């Protein structure tokens, strides 16, 4: 039985996941993919989509069979025991000090294209965005779903308008074969566009009909995000740029739609980042609340509002993000470093999900999960120095794990 007051339906869940997967990446990563592999980047997108759909099916199967706000940590408990559950939950939660400030910095990239924000007012703007996301979370998951529906529909409408103003040429919309190395390199970069499946797992108890909706949400969200990314890349390739620079999409918007197009791209880039940040606060706060509700974290984190919002957990996350934002404002770590460190957390969490699925599922699902396990191991190794950081975090959490952690 759900411990929450379920408010999410199929469409609301699909919107929350799609905005989490798209985020700021929809206006950035297709450009980087074209820079790396050119026309062959479309092949990279197809390969990545073909890989992510089965992985999404594994998440969908686990979410349908074991709907729980603990998400991946709950599945890990069933497969590997309560100590492993605590460790994986902490791996995900400990991404907050690096992951959420990175999301705020991405949001500021687009906000600063709309307004000239001198120092130190840029810090005030970051904290203002955090306060707005916090306020939306306090309003409840249904309010978040409605706001993000408007954001995703507006973003998709803008992308469609840009594609229509730059007719996608048939020769530029079809995948091409080329050297394997650039295709693989581009696919490795694009993989980070699909980090976010675990958020649906954390929101599982918010679905009115999780058995029916969760598999459709995860697979549908991956397909929708993948098609949007593919369309952006094909549109960019159809523009006929002699060389694709990092601001190519902004230049395309300015060329095809004028100054208004450039402004709209900045607006929707900001909103997409905002929506992604909002989704993560939703998921993280419910993950913390779930652990506290089961006695695995201090009981004061179980406090919820009349709208069933886990306010104590949300307050703690907002406070940590606030402090980390102040710390990283000193340029101790740059945006790329923050993102890479955050990726180490997420790949470890995905690895735990795949290993758990190998143990818990049967038939084809188990084989797909085994393949996902190997891919996660390869992706983690490819992180380089960030993988070493991830291993240090993992070892420290294993040493700190309660010796007699409670079972799920």
pLDDT of the residue at 176: 65
Tokens in use for 22?
């798209």
- Name the percent of the chain lying above pLDDT 70: 82
Chain position carrying tokens 């379920």: 6
Banded model confidence at residue 110, pLDDT cuts 50, 70, 90: confident
- Measured at the alpha carbon of residue 180, what is the angle toward residues 174 and 184, in degrees to the nearest 5? 85
Tokens in use for 223?
């397909």
pLDDT, average across residues 311-330:
85
Listed in sequence order, the DSSP H helices in 329-363 are 335-360
Q: Which of 1-10, 75-84, 283-292 has the highest mean pLDDT?
A: 75-84
Q: Which domains, from first to last, does the chain contain?
A: 10-400 (1.20.1740.10)
pLDDT, average across residues 231-248:
75
* 284-297 per-position pLDDT tens digit: 887 788 778 877 77
pLDDT of the residue at 242: 64
3-state class of 207 per DSSP?
A: strand
- Does the structure show a pLDDT above 80 at 326? yes
pLDDT of the residue at 1: 44
Residue 154 exposed, middle or buried by CB count within 10 Å (0-12, 13-18, 19+): middle
Helix 210-238 and helix 141-165, axial crossing angle in degrees, nearest 10: 30
Q: Higher model confidence: residue 184 or residue 24?
A: 184
**In whole angstroms, what is the distance from residue 147 CA to residue 152 CA?**
9
Average pLDDT, the chain: 78
pLDDT of the residue at 359: 94
Distance, first Cα to last Cα, the chain: 14
pLDDT of the residue at 140: 63
Cα of 152 vs its chain's centroid, Å: 14
Banded model confidence at residue 3, pLDDT cuts 50, 70, 90: low
User: Quick one: which of 281, 259, 276 has its CA closest to 151?
Assistant: 276
pLDDT, average across residues 182-202:
72
CB 345 within 8 A of CB 195: no
**In whole angstroms, what is the distance from residue 150 CA to residue 275 CA?**
10
pLDDT of the residue at 204: 63
pLDDT of the residue at 352: 92
């Amino acid at each position: 039985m759900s411990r929450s007051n379920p408010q999410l339906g199929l469409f609301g869940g699909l919107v929350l996941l799609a905005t989490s997967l798209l985020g700021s990446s929809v206006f950035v990563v297709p450009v980087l993919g074209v820079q790396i592999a050119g026309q062959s980047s479309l092949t990279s997108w197809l390969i990545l989509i073909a890989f992510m759909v089965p992985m999404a099916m594994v998440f969908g199967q686990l979410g349908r069979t074991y709907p729980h706000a603990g998400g991946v940590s709950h599945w890990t408990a069933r497969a590997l025991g309560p100590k492993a559950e605590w460790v994986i939950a902490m791996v995900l939660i400990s991404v907050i000090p690096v992951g959420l400030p990175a999301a705020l910095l991405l949001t500021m990239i687009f906000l600063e294209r709309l307004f000239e924000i001198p120092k130190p007012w840029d810090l005030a703007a970051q904290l203002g965005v955090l306060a707005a996301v916090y306020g939306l979370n306090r309003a409840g998951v249904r309010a978040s779903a409605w706001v993000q529906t408007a954001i995703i529909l507006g973003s998709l409408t803008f992308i469609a308008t840009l594609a229509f103003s730059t007719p996608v040429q048939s020769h530029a919309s079809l995948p091409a074969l080329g050297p394997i190395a650039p295709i693989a390199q581009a696919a490795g970069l694009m993989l980070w566009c699909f980090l976010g499946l675990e958020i649906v797992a954390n929101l599982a108890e918010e679905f009115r009909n999780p058995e029916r909706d969760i598999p459709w949400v995860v697979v549908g969200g991956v397909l929708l995000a993948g098609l949007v990314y593919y369309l952006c890349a094909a549109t960019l390739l159809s523009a006929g740029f002699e060389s694709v620079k990092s601001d190519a999409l902004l230049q395309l918007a300015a060329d095809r739609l004028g100054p208004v197009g450039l402004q709209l791209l900045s607006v929707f880039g900001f909103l997409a980042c905002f929506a992604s940040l909002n989704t993560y606060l939703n998921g993280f706060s419910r993950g913390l609340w779930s652990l506290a509700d089961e006695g695995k974290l201090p009981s004061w984190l179980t406090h919820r509002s009349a709208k069933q919002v886990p306010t104590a957990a949300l307050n703690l996350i907002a406070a940590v993000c606030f402090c980390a934002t102040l710390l990283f404002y000193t340029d101790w770590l740059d945006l790329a470093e923050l993102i890479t460190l955050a990726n180490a957390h997420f790949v470890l969490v995905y690895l735990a999900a795949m290993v758990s699925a190998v143990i818990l599922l049967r038939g084809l699902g188990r084989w797909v999960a085994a393949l996902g396990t190997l891919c996660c191991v390869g992706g983690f190794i490819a992180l380089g120095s960030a993988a070493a950081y991830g291993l240090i975090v993992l070892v420290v959490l294993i040493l700190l794990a309660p010796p007699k952690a409670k079972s799920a």
